[in-house]
Homo-oligomer: A and B are copies of this chain.
Amino acid sequence: MARILGIDPGSRITGYGIVDSRGGIMDFVVCGVIRTSATQSFAYRLNEIFEGLNEVIQTHQPAVAAVEEVFLATNPRSALKLGHARGVAVVAAMQNGLAVHDYSARAIKRAVVGYGQATKEQVQHMVQVLLRLTGKPSVDAADALAVAICHANHLQGVL
């Protein structure tokens, strides 16, 4: 069995989701978001992401992390901020001894919806179905679970 932590980094909201994968079966463990303090400095917020992920990892003990890559598109300023948050997420995982895998948004969507251009709502829906959840996870938590599912598929050789 592999316990996989999926992370969808963001300077305002970082989603996380943990899935257990064993022989092609995936079980939901936990998901949520780290919401950083809007009134604090950027440095402070980056530190909140680090400490939030640290706590999630120490509580649930995943064996491996998968982190969504930053899509270099529209706004370079947003991409740069996202890069900061993503670097912090990667190091939070590394500092806890987790191997870190990267997946593009396209690969993640393809893994859960079968279609690289899927909408956030489609991802949210399919995450709920694939993990047999009774409720819909929030969009950011669903994205993080989707990253974990993508890595689980990768481990199964499905991707």
Contacts and interface: CB of A to CB of B under 8 A. Distances in A.
Interface in A90-115: 90-91, 93-95, 100, 102
Interface stretch (A18-26, A75-83, A141-149): A75-83
A3 to B, nearest CB: 18
A82 B83 CA distance: 8
A87 B83 contact: yes
Interface stretch (A41-49, A120-128, A130-138, A151-159): A41-49
Q: How many copies are assembled?
A: 2
Which of A41, A83, A93 lies at the interface centre, i.e. has the most chain B CB atoms within 10 A of its CB? A83
Contacts of A76: 72, 76, 79
A13 interface: no
Contact of A83 (B81, B95, B102): B81
Contact of A80 (B42, B44, B70, B95): B70
A88 interface: yes
B100 A43 contact: yes
20 contacts: A41-B100, A42-B90, A42-B102, A43-B90, A43-B100, A43-B102, A44-B94, A47-B91, A50-B94, A50-B95, A70-B80, A72-B76, A72-B77, A79-B79, A79-B80, A83-B84, A83-B87, A84-B84, A84-B87, A85-B87
Name the 3 nearest CB pairs between A and B, nearest first: A83-B83, A84-B87, A87-B87
